[in-house]
Amino acid sequence: MIFKSAVSKINKFIYIGTIVFLILLSIPSFFEDTYEPFLVIFSIHFFIILFIIWMYKSTFYKIENTYLHWKSGPFYGEIDIKKINKIEYHKGIIVPTIWKPALSHIGIIITYNKYDDIYISPEKQQEFIAKLQSLNQNITFKNTPYVE
């Protein structure tokens, strides 16, 4: 079962604003006497824009058997659902985790193993949590608006 990442309006504006800003930064180099500055600057900005689009288009979470697979651009991983200890609802830009394959500032922090955690933001959060809970009844919930 595949769950796409939710995208908040704030993050959409940030992504679009960053892309527009990078394009605008490339324009002055176009008016130089030689074309090398434009090629260098535009190439760097082009690859940054491609990376942003790649992250935006390929962030998702997949529950397969007893594993939660996550992917965001070139980054990916898997979590054994049986080792998930806690799910915590989180809303805010500052997230206290290292891994954040999410496109929204509203999501959940999944704690697994002993000290590992990850922040994700599935679109259908209630359905996602229900699926995880059906595979592991030992999950505890903290600050989560949805508890079955």
Query: How do residues 78-136 score in pLDDT, each as one tens digit?
Result: 999 999 999 999 988 888 888 899 999 899 999 999 889 999 999 999 899 999 999 99
The β-bridge partners of 4 are 60
Look at 95 and 59; give whichever has higher pLDDT. Answer: 59
For the chain, which residues make up each domain, given as ranges? 1-148
For the cut 90, the answer to whether the pLDDT of residue 147 exceeds it is no
Q: Is residue 68 over pLDDT 90? A: yes
Q: How far apart are CA 110 and CA 128, in angstroms?
A: 12
Q: Which of 86, 106, 110 is nearest to 98 (CA)?
A: 110
Dist. CA 47–CA 2, nearest whole Å:
28
Q: What is the mean pLDDT of residues 42-61?
A: 94
Percent of the chain with pLDDT over 90: 64
pLDDT for 51 equals 95
Whole-number mean pLDDT of the chain? 90
DSSP calls for the chain: -EEEBPB-HHHHHHHHHHHHHHHHHHHHHHTSSSSHHHHHHHHHHHHHHHHHHHHHHS-EEEEETTEEEEEETTEEEEEEGGGEEEEEEEESS--S-SB---BSSEEEEEEETTTEEEEE-BSSHHHHHHHHHHH-TT-EEES-S---
pLDDT more than 70, % of the chain: 97
Domain 1-148 has CATH 2.30.29.30: yes
pTM: 0.83
Do 73 and 54 form a contact (C-beta atoms < 8 A)? yes
pLDDT at position 145: 63
**What is the per-residue pLDDT for 93?**
83
**Given a cut of 60, is residue 146 above it in pLDDT?**
no
| Contact present, 129 and 81 (Cβ < 8 Å) | no
pLDDT of residue 88: 92
